[in-house]
Amino acid sequence: MSEPKKKGVSTRKGFIFFNCDEYKSEQSMNIFYNHVVYKDTLASRKLLWSQIQKECSEKRIFIEPDNLAEVKRLIIEDDPILASDYMKFGAIKLIDCL
């Protein structure tokens, strides 16, 4: 995925963070609990990173401390979906927005 769009630029891509089981099974991802869509803009990606930090600090997900910088880089600058590989009990999914 290319770098995020600049603030205020609309795209058709969006990301949803899900709390889930350790296997990241689709059945464990509840759209009624995790329903915030983060658009593919720099501002929204920063909000997504803030949500990941909050989930981690509240111990709802786990990310090895050595991997936090890489997770932040993937979310802010690259492909947020790849950040899921570093999370336990959490995942980021891509959705198309209308």
In this predicted model, what pLDDT tens digit does every residue of 34-77 receive, in sequence order? 989 999 999 999 999 999 999 999 999 999 999 999 999 999 99
Q: How confident is the model at residue 4 (pLDDT cuts 50, 70, 90)?
A: low
- Domain annotation covers residue 5: no
- Domain annotation covers residue 64: yes
User: Are 78 and 36 a contacting pair, CB within 8 Å?
Assistant: no
What domain range includes position 68? Answer: 13-96
Q: Mean pLDDT over residues 76-95, rounded?
A: 97
Mean pLDDT taken over the chain: 91
Rounded Cα–Cα distance for residues 98 and 59 (Å):
33
- Domain annotation covers residue 63: yes
**DSSP bridge partners of 93:** 16
- Domain annotation covers residue 2: no
